């Protein structure tokens, strides 16, 4: 099976979250998830091989997505597959009333064959027990991971906060830190559930390591700090 395929990716709908990690609510911000389009480096953007991740659109977001598709010289009929990171209402297929009707075949990455070999699903529970990320190598050789709400956005990541309105248990919070730790080890770029892409840099890892001891129940997930130290060392060595 071919595993060396590289992929193009584009954010079609920029995600946002009115609730801030400091518990303030910014009413001017629309609650919407990040929608990512992934398609193979070889060939055109075409139905069979274009995967839309978390296709839940707001009206404004759908307009933005349509414009971004057009800028790629493509349209909705060129997008044929969908992948949902987790079954929360703000991530499953949702089109605004009157939108161009799109029909998407679910993409199950358990045993992907060409043209979608090389898309890797990884179970990253905590935020949701079924949360599954989609990872791939992009056309610049970077390890990219579409993380869904395993990472809400960069501010929530830096604050080591979890989406507390969902009333998570201690076990789920510890799982969340473990999942974030694995993402930070594996990825060069993380596409979060509700924000723009986050580059995994030495500076980010240092800040996260500094703040981690203040995360809730961090004492039960000390291995996460060890993973981040390891990743930091490998970035320093230029690996």
Among 149, 153, 161, 186, binds Zn ion (CB under 5 A): 149
Binding part of the chain for Zn ion, among 80-88, 112-120, 168-176, 216-224 by CB under 5 A, reads: 80-88
Q: Which two tokens stand for residue 31?
A: 């609650």
Alpha carbon dihedral 98, 90, 22, 223, in 10-degree steps, equals -150
**CA–CA separation, 123 and 145 (whole Å):** 12
Find the shortest distance in angstroms from Cβ 32 to Zn ion. 9
Residues with Cβ within 8 Å of 6's Cβ and at least 6 positions away in sequence, in order, are: 40, 41, 118, 136, 137, 138, 139, 141
Question: Is 88 an interacting residue with respect to Zn ion (CB under 5 A)?
Answer: yes
> Stretches 58-66, 77-85, 143-151, 179-187: which one binds Zn ion (CB under 5 A)?
143-151
155 burial via Cβ count (<10 Å: 0-12, 13-18, 19+): middle
> Phi, psi (5° rounding) for residue 145?
-130, 120
Q: How many residues line the site for Zn ion (CB under 5 A)?
A: 4
**Strand pairing report for 120-123 and 198-199:** unpaired
Site stretch for Zn ion (CB under 5 A), options 76-84, 92-100, 191-199, 215-223:
191-199
Which stretch in 92-100, 170-178, 189-197, 210-218 sits in contact with Zn ion by CB under 5 A? 189-197
Distance of closest approach, residue 111 Cβ to Zn ion, in angstroms: 26
Q: Is 193 in the site for Zn ion (CB under 5 A)?
A: yes
When the beta carbons of 78 and 161 are compared against Zn ion, the nearer one is: 161
Q: Taking CB under 5 A as the criterion, which residues in 89-128 touch Zn ion?
A: 90
**3-class SS of residue 29:** coil
Smallest gap, in angstroms, from Cβ of residue 151 to Zn ion?
Answer: 11
Residue 148: enclosing H or E segment and its boundaries?
strand 143-148
User: Smaller CB distance to Zn ion: residue 30 or 90?
Assistant: 90
CB of 133 to Zn ion, least distance (A): 13
List residues binding Zn ion (CB under 5 A): 88, 90, 149, 193
């Amino acid at each position: 099976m071919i595993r060396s395929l590289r992929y193009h990716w584009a954010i079609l709908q920029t995600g946002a979250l009115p609730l801030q990690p400091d518990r303030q609510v910014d009413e001017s911000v629309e609650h919407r998830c990040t929608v990512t389009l992934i398609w193979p480096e070889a060939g055109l953007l075409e139905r069979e091989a274009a995967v839309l991740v978390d296709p839940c659109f707001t009206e404004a977001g759908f307009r933005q997505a349509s414009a971004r598709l057009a800028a790629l010289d493509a349209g909705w009929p060129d997008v044929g597959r969908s992948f949902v990171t987790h079954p929360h209402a703000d991530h499953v297929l949702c089109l605004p009333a009157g939108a161009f009707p799109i029909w998407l075949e679910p993409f199950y990455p358990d045993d992907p064959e060409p043209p979608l070999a090389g898309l890797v699903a990884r179970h990253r529970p905590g935020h949701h027990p079924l949360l599954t990320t989609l990872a791939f190598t992009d056309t610049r050789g970077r390890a990219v991971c579409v993380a869904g709400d395993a990472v809400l956005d960069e501010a929530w990541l830096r604050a080591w906060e979890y989406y507390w309105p969902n009333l998570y248990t201690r076990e789920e919070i510890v799982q969340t830190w473990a999942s974030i730790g694995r993402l930070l080890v594996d990825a060069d770029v993380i596409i979060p559930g509700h924000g723009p892409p986050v580059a995994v840099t030495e500076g980010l890892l240092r800040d996260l390591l500094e703040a981690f001891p203040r995360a809730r129940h961090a004492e039960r997930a000390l291995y996460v700090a060890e993973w981040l130290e390891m990743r930091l060392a490998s970035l320093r060595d230029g690996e």
